[in-house]
A and B are shown apart, each in its own frame.
Chain A
Amino acid sequence: MAKKHKPNNVLPGFNLSLGYTLLYLSLIVLIPLSAAFFKTTELSFAEFWHTVTTPRVVASYKLTFGASLFAAVINAIFGLLTAWVLTRYTFPGKKLVDALVDLPFALPTAVAGIALTAVYSTNGWIGSLLEPLGVKVAFTPLGVVVALTFIGLPFVVRTVQPVLEDLEAETEEAAASLGANRWQTFSRVILPALWPALLTGFALAFARAIGEYGSVIFIAGNMPMVSEITPLIIITKLEQYDYTGATAVAVVMLIISFLLLFAINGLQWWSSRRNSASRGT
């Protein structure tokens, strides 16, 4: 009878493994993160609100969220293109290209930062070509977009690629035999199937970009009101020993990040449900 109530109790180690998981999670993640929320209680709500809405901080939100959104859109479009090319076509060096797509996950952000700055500054390889056109990238908000595009590059490719590989050729053949041309097949048959994965990759790239620090500070120029990102505001406040101010801005970012995390989890749940549903039929 007892077995019926706890059918999963056959294997040992449940209490030990779950206990250790919860302990370690609390010590490393939950208690430290709660410190940020406790620290802000030192401020009254009016003080908190004033700290997180000064013009310089608001300008940094606009840059951080605007540039992250812009970069995530670039990554959605070109990530879809890259995933498509990598799954559908063959060309020399394809395997190498496929492996290198993950470079932003493996390359330290500081290295990415100085490399992008070297390439996109006015005497760099690409920057020197753009300067005659009147486009300045390094030390402008555009530089922030470039760095955030680099950071978010693998997300869309790696979420879309497996879905594209799993698509049944039969549905496309059916569309073709019913008289759809290739573009119609893509926009009405393939794209709807990719939509959840594409949106998930977009959200992951966006979430990663919002918190990014290392790759941005080298290329941004960090001018207050113009090219100063929110994580840098936190660092600046910390260096001035304004711990409560730094924490107040951090809490705003934390809340936004948590909301994004829940949205992403919802998206992934939706996308896996849709995939299994389409496979079932």
Chain B
Amino acid sequence: MSAIVSQLAHYNAKVARSRATSEPTWVRWTLIISALLFLSLFLFIPLAAVFTEALRKGFETYIAALVEPDAVSAIQLTLIAAAISLPLNLVFGIAAAWAIAKFEFKGKSILITLIDLPFAVSPVIAGLIFVLIFGLQGWFGEWLIDNDFKVIFAIPGIVLATVFVTFPFIARELIPLMQAQGKEEEEAGLVLGASGWQILWHITLPNIKWGLLYGVILTNARAMGEFGAVSVVSGHIRGLTNTMPLHVEILYNEYNYAAAFAVASLLAFLALVTLGLKSYIEWQSGRTASANEKASDQ
């Protein structure tokens, strides 16, 4: 009986509380609808437009735009650029996070700011700096000609520009995560006789796997979608130095809208997969976090 009374009292308090700290229904729905209207104007409608424009001339034209040789070579180059820049930035991200999260040293906050630099640099400038170094008039320009090696207007330049623009993503994801986790577990491993690599492989990496995966998919999305930086260094040679976003631009400027949107729809689909994975990771890491909390409570 007293349980029911206390439950009722609790319920009444809850109602009073929600009335005092929430808005009338009409305010609520006005706010929800204005937010959705804003998001529709800038997000949902443009996203829907990509797929409708792609299929405007029918499914056959759509498929034809994706299997023509220039499109296929653009897809391949995009995959190559992502496949090279991902592991490079992955190793860097783990090394940087290890040094910054597990050790104290002077100038740490400057180092973190420097890692952030590529976020602040316009993609166009990211391309420009590699032209200044490896271009014809650049620092290594003559040396590269003498040795018959091309960086600018070739694949190495595209990879370099991609590495630059995706540089901070994984490190930025891992540093706060590893700082929050501390180093007790690693020290315990050390006491039990594990080597440095064993600690990294068996303790640190399993602890940071969700953050790592999160950083990897963000890096991958940006690597495959980068336009400005790659556009400066690529030279837009069809079938040779064209990535998917550049191929979209060429088709669009040729007024071949259906084909441009067909290739764009592939990239948009990739973006949606990225967002899906991201939500899944957030859900999973939230679950592990709450499971850990429960375990430590008991």
Contact = CB atoms under 8 A, between A and B. Distances in A.
Nearest to A149: B42
Interface of B is mostly: helix
A261 to B, nearest CB: 4
A103 B103 contact: no
A39 B21 contact: no
Interface residues of B, number: 101
Interface string B11-41: 0000001001111000110011011101101
A11 B95 contact: no
Given A112-B46, A153-B42, A176 B274 contact: no
B95 A21 contact: yes
Q: Chain A interface residue count: which class?
A: 35 or more
A30 interface: yes
Contacts of A85: 31-32, 35
Contacts of A223: none
B208 interface: no
Query: Of residues A182, A210, A232, which shows the largest number of chain B Cβ atoms within 10 Å of its Cβ?
Result: A182
Contacts of A243: 131-132, 135, 137
B67 interface: no
Given A10-B190, A84-B31, A235-B124, A103 B43 contact: yes
Contacts of A132: none
Contact of A261 (B32, B117, B125): B117
A169 B167 contact: no
Contacts of A14: 99, 102-103
Interface stretch (A43-51, A54-62, A94-102, A191-199): A94-102
A227 interface: no
Contacts of A36: 125, 128-129, 132
Contact of B186 (A11, A99, A107, A153): A11
A16 B100 CA distance: 12
Contact of A17 (B99, B115, B270): B99
Contact of A150 (B43, B132, B133): B43
A185 B132 CA distance: 55
B264 A110 contact: yes
B55 interface: no
Contact of A100 (B43, B121, B260): B43
A111 B50 contact: yes
B122 A119 contact: no
Contacts of A100: 39, 43-44, 47, 275
Contacts of A78: 35, 38
A102 B278 contact: yes
Contact of B120 (A109, A153, A247, A260): A260
B218 A105 contact: yes
B273 to A, nearest CB: 9
Contacts of B212: none
A101 B39 contact: yes
B275 A17 contact: no
B245 interface: yes
Query: Of residues B116, B124, B130, B252, which shows the largest number of chain A Cβ atoms within 10 Å of its Cβ?
Result: B124
Interface string B260-282: 11001001101110111011000
A195 to B, nearest CB: 20
27 contacts: A10-B187, A11-B187, A11-B190, A14-B99, A14-B103, A17-B96, A20-B91, A21-B99, A29-B167, A33-B117, A97-B36, A101-B39, A108-B248, A110-B227, A111-B271, A115-B49, A115-B268, A116-B46, A118-B46, A124-B49, A126-B45, A173-B17, A177-B20, A211-B122, A218-B252, A235-B124, A258-B120
Interface of B: 17, 20-23, 27-28, 31-32, 34-36, 38-39, 41-47, 49-50, 53, 88, 91-92, 95-96, 98-100, 102-105, 111, 113-125, 128-133, 135, 137-139, 160, 163-164, 167, 183, 186-187, 190, 195-196, 199-200, 218, 221, 224-228, 231-232, 244-246, 248-249, 252, 257, 260-261, 264, 267-268, 270-272, 274-276, 278-279
Given A12-B196, A111-B248, A126-B45, 18 more contacts: A13-B98, A14-B99, A17-B95, A22-B111, A24-B92, A85-B35, A99-B275, A106-B272, A106-B275, A111-B271, A118-B49, A149-B42, A150-B42, A150-B46, A213-B124, A231-B125, A261-B117, A265-B116
Interface of A: 8, 10-14, 16-18, 20-22, 24-25, 28-33, 35-36, 39, 78, 81-82, 84-86, 88-89, 91, 95, 97, 99-112, 114-116, 118-119, 124-126, 146, 149-150, 153, 169, 172-173, 176-177, 182, 185, 207, 210-214, 218, 231-232, 234-235, 238, 243, 246-247, 250, 253-254, 257-258, 260-262, 265
